[in-house]
């Protein structure tokens, strides 16, 4: 059917797997759908610390994109997008080929901010996660590790790695778990101390060298392996795409500006970490997950010539942090809690999420 219009989805992130699932249940009449994504398995980051800690097998935390796309009647291209030409409505791929689209949706996530000198060359970034897992597994047991980044990901990964190596967590100037309630931050610091993770808080890393973190006003910290888990930055391919005169805008950090309906332009949607939502949202998977059903409904509406509806972010959400040993800490609405039952809850939520797509 040569006259069918084309919806192109870039990135197999948390929002797009839901779009695929919904289009599998009810196809888009008159449209063919293609997913262009980097790899055949999309990792679910919520379970990654559990994989590192040995609580899950890697396969348990992966969504088989090839199988999901086939089941949902969506075409699949395994490649990397390297640029968008919004005027010509084409997306460039790493292998040099182009893909044309009538409607585009982007869910390619973010990348760790490795702007500190030497970080990109000498530290192991947490993303892409598929590249991280084999490299982490190659770390010889017992060698010392320094994890840089005091947010949720750095905290969980430091505790997960502690099961196999001496670990220092470098939390930077904003300290451990900025943005979390004070009571949770204190419990988290105690959890690190009880498990033998050294916390280095209060100063940012100034430069990275092989096996060494340099500070302006403190002694160099040495470790056999350096893991980089600092805040999210926009992926270089997006920053390098020339957008002037295309009706698309990026925010100060390089993320794609969208409106309340997740639209960057009438024919381009974006969701998850790659999108800059009005008023700003934390770069957290929970938002990408919640945007999935709205994105699916809006793509369906626009494909049928109807108006999209706004996405309304939740004002507070349940945040759960694995301690790497079958316990977890959690917070919601200012309440702070912890223990084995919190891990049980996190495990249940994560397994239920991934089962929808496996
Ligand atoms: C260790 C760790 C633990 C975390 N734990 C939590 C947690 O417990 N709760 C929480 O809310 N958040 C957590 N986060 C944050 C969470 O991972 C992100 O916010 C979330 O993954 C964002 O989802 P997304 O859909 O935007 O993109 P992603 O999940 O990053 O998916 C992006 C997809 O796009 C593909 N892609 C990327 N670039 C291209 C390209 N150029 N071309 C084609 N395809 C591309 C990738 O292969 C991937 O499939 C954690 C992060 C880490 C690193």
Is the CB–ligand 1 distance for residue 227 below 6 Å? Answer: no
> Which whole number is the average pLDDT over 185-198?
98
Contact present, 330 and 348 (Cβ < 8 Å): no
> Which whole number is the average pLDDT over 74-103?
93
Residue 112 binned pLDDT confidence (cut-offs 50, 70, 90): confident
- 154 Cα to the center of ligand 1, angstroms: 15
Q: Which two tokens stand for residue 292?
A: 């999935």
Q: How far apart are CA 107 and CA 33, in angstroms?
A: 15
**Dihedral sign computed on CA atoms, order 66, 68, 73, 77:** negative
pLDDT in tens, 121-159: 999 988 777 777 777 766 656 789 999 999 999 999 999
pLDDT in tens, 289-313: 999 999 999 999 999 999 999 999 9
Beta strand 268-270 with 225-228 is unpaired
Residue nearest to atom 45 of ligand 1 (CA): 11
Residue 279 binned pLDDT confidence (cut-offs 50, 70, 90): very high
Is the CB–ligand 1 distance for residue 10 below 6 Å? Answer: yes
pLDDT in tens, 224-273: 999 999 988 988 887 766 666 566 889 998 899 999 999 999 999 999 99
Is the CB–ligand 1 distance for residue 154 below 6 Å? Answer: no
| Structural domains of the chain in order of their starting residue, each with its CATH number | 5-110+234-303 (3.50.50.60), 113-230 (3.50.50.60)
Contact present, 276 and 284 (Cβ < 8 Å): no
Cα 311 from chain centroid?
Answer: 19
Q: Which of 14, 45, 271 to mutate to test the pocket of ligand 1 (most atoms within 8 A of CB)?
A: 45
Which ligand 1 atom is at minimum distance from the Cα of 346?
8
């Amino acid at each position: 059917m040569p006259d069918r219009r084309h919806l192109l989805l870039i990135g197999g992130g948390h929002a797009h797997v839901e779009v695929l699932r919904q289009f599998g249940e009810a196809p888009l009449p008159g449209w063919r759908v293609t997913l262009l994504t980097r790899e055949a398995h999309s990792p679910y980051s919520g379970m990654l610390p559990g994989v590192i800690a040995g609580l899950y097998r890697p396969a348990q935390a992966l969504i088989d994109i090839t199988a999901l796309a086939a089941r949902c009647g969506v075409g699949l291209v395994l490649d990397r997008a390297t640029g968008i030409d919004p005027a010509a409505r084409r997306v460039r791929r790493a292998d040099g080929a182009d893909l044309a689209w009538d409607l585009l949706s982007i869910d390619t996530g973010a990348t760790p901010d490795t702007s500190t000198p030497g970080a990109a060359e000498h530290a192991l970034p947490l993303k892409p996660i598929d590249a991280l897992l084999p490299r982490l597994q190659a770390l010889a047991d017992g060698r010392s590790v320094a994890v840089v980044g005091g947010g949720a990901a750095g905290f969980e990964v430091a505790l997960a790695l502690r099961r196999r190596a001496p670990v220092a967590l470098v939390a930077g100037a904003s300290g451990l778990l900025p943005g979390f309630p004070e009571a949770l931050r204190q419990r988290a610091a105690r959890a690190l101390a009880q498990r033998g993770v050294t916390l280095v808080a209060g100063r940012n890393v100034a430069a990275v060298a092989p096996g060494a973190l340099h500070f302006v006003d403190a002694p160099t910290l040495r470790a056999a392996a350096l893991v980089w888990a600092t805040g999210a930055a926009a992926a270089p391919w997006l920053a390098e795409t020339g957008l002037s005169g295309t009706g698309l805008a990026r925010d100060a950090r390089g993320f794609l500006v969208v409106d309340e309906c997740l639209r960057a332009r009438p024919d381009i949607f974006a969701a998850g970490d790659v999108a800059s939502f009005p008023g700003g949202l934390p770069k957290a998977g929970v938002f990408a997950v919640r945007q999935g059903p709205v994105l699916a409904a809006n793509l369906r509406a626009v494909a049928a010539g109807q108006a999209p509806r706004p996405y309304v972010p939740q004002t507070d959400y349940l945040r759960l942090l694995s301690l790497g040993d079958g316990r977890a800490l959690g917070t919601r609405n200012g309440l702070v809690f912890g223990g084995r039952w919190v891990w049980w809850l996190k495990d249940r939520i994560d397994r239920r999420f991934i089962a929808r797509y496996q």
